[in-house]
Amino acid sequence: MNTVTCAVRDYLRGVAKAWNAFWFTAADPATLAAIRICAGAMLFYTHLVWSLDLQAFFGPDGWLPPDLMADLQEGRYVWSHFWFVESPALMWTVHLFGLAVFASLTVGFCSRAMSVLAYLIAVSYVNRILPGAFFGLDKINCMLAMYLIIGPSGACYSVDRWLARRRAGGCLDPPTPSVAANVAVRMIQLHMCIIYLFAGLEKLQGVHWWDGTAVWMSVANSEYQTFDLTGLAHHPTLVALLTHVTVFWELFYCALIWHPLTRPITLLGAVCVHGGIALGLGMITFGLVMLIGNMAFLPPWFVRTVVDRSLEWFTRGRAGGPTRVAAASTG
């Protein structure tokens, strides 16, 4: 009995140790910073598009008037700053302020404050149009903005970092590994796993995913057709293979992504799936934002290698010859 008790105790200690290592190991904030840049740019672009006809989208007499939204929301109160903005001048002022916040988050200026504001503003826009114009892109935008609040997303590759280096006289130690950065990235990772698992389970309820024709049904839909892919009709075996591989990838993403050997293949699958959605179905922003979420599985050393080499290449190009990039490796 004592042997069993000891074995159980050792097992639980191992589980607790693994749990703490997973969540509370200090991590290089490079990956989180890269996500901040890409997610901030996506937030800026997707909200900039509203500027094409701001009053039509959010005005009291626009396509989605407040009374209609209240009825669609079944009488529930969903907060949004747009409920209190009717003047076109004030609406444009608030809108431009939001764009400035998203731009500041992208470049990493006052990153901590901007991440909080970016999340609140993004959710406010969504709540104003919910459910009239609410799509997967908006959900992932808000999800990424929320998790950027947790960690020091401006610790590197940011204006904040550049200003800190200037205040230090041009010499600054590399960013300190942070538990908060690790927690933020872990939350994004787990959220992506949940998204794909339920997406795969949902597909299992559709007959076209079982008979292998779902990919054909997608590319043959002229509403979402970027390129003419109807030639796939002559290759039913390929269509069936793409359909079943997609379901398999989504269902087992949450398992395959964690192992170092299968992670590159799984991420390559993400590039293929979402690249296909972006280029083949015309949903470029949605395809890109999902790839931004997948960036959470890129190790910090890989991010630093890519960024540092890109900066070195850019500097050499401008200087016309080999040049050292002293500050690149420190973020």
DSSP structure string for 211-224 = TT-HHHHHHT-GGG
How high is the pLDDT of residue 309?
A: 85
* pTM assigned to the model: 0.88
Tell me the pLDDT tens digit for each residue of 289-300: 999 999 999 999
Whole-angstrom Cα distance, residue 81 to residue 107? 25
pLDDT band at 325 (very low <50, low <70, confident <90, very high): very low
Q: Work out the average pLDDT over 57-65.
A: 81
CA nearest neighbour of 33 among 140, 162, 172: 162
| Sequence letter at residue 32 | L
Which of 48-57, 104-113, 277-286, 309-318 tops mean pLDDT? 104-113
| Residue 60: pLDDT over 90 | no
Whole-angstrom Cα distance, residue 232 to residue 212? 13
| Sequence letter at residue 54 | L
Whole-angstrom Cα distance, residue 34 to residue 155? 11
| Three-class DSSP category at 274 | helix
Strand (E) or helix (H) holding 48: helix 30-48
Phi and psi for 278 in degrees, rounded to 5? Answer: -65, -45
Q: How big is the CA angle at 312 (ends 115 and 300), to the nearest 5 degrees?
A: 45
Q: How big is the CA angle at 160 (ends 156 and 166), to the nearest 5 degrees?
A: 100
How high is the pLDDT of residue 320?
A: 59
- The answer to whether the beta carbons of residues 28 and 177 sit under 8 Å apart is yes
- The answer to whether the beta carbons of residues 310 and 12 sit under 8 Å apart is no
| Sequence letter at residue 193 | C
Q: Please list the alpha-helical segments (H only) found in 59-206.
A: 66-72, 88-107, 111-129, 136-148, 159-167, 179-203
Which of 30-34, 126-130, 322-326 tops mean pLDDT? 30-34
How high is the pLDDT of residue 177?
A: 93
Cα distances from 147 to residues 86, 101, 159, 188, 248, in angstroms, run 31, 16, 20, 7, 28
| Residue 255: pLDDT over 70 | yes
Cα distances from 307 to residues 26, 104, 310, 314, in angstroms, run 21, 20, 5, 10
| Residue 203: pLDDT over 90 | yes
- The answer to whether the beta carbons of residues 163 and 12 sit under 8 Å apart is no
Per the DSSP assignment, residues forming a β-bridge with 178 are 27
| Sequence letter at residue 186 | R
At which residue do the structure tokens 């050997």 appear? Answer: 261
